[in-house]
Amino acid sequence: MADIKALAEQFVNLTVKEVNELARVLKEEYGIEPAAAAVAVAAPAASEETAVAEKSTFDVILKHPGGAKLQIVKLVKELTGLGLKESKEVVDAAPKAIKEGCSKEEAESIKDQLVEAGADVELK
């Protein structure tokens, strides 16, 4: 069984060029259409894309404070723990990250509060 595992390990580590060469050899010399091999090689790539799509941390970006700037400054102060001056500087520097590396739930909560106060916010 160890030989099978070693062979499988070699298949998994093939480059695209090597896979194409293997497919050509199987077809020309052995008459085997390696359609299943292409699907097996494409499967790990699909799972990697899924992992990238499912983010676990988010950044809350203030794109524009909107009309109620004073309310947004107070809310940023409350949400971040910054002082009033620092919060105003963050709001004035929009687009700017308000909070980085937070969970999806926390990011959504912060976004909802800022949008309710009139700000334009996005999650990254």
**Looking at residue 80, what is its pLDDT?**
83
Going from the N-terminus, what domains does the chain have, and what CATH number goes with each? 2-53 (no CATH), 58-123 (3.30.1390.10)
Region label for 18, one of left (φ > 0), alpha (ψ between -120 and 50) or beta (otherwise): alpha
**Looking at residue 37, what is its pLDDT?**
47
**Looking at residue 35, what is its pLDDT?**
62
Question: Do residues 60 and 109 touch, judged by C-beta distance below 8 A?
Answer: no
From residue 86, alpha-carbon distances to 19, 51, 97, 114, 121 in Å are 56, 36, 13, 17, 19
Task: Please tell me whether the overall predicted TM-score, pTM, comes out greater than 0.85 for this model.
Answer: no
H-run or E-run covering 61? strand 58-64
**Looking at residue 106, what is its pLDDT?**
87
pLDDT in tens, the chain (124 residues): 568 888 888 878 888 888 888 888 888 888 887 665 454 555 555 555 554 456 778 888 988 888 888 898 888 888 888 888 988 888 898 888 888 888 888 888 888 988 888 888 888 8
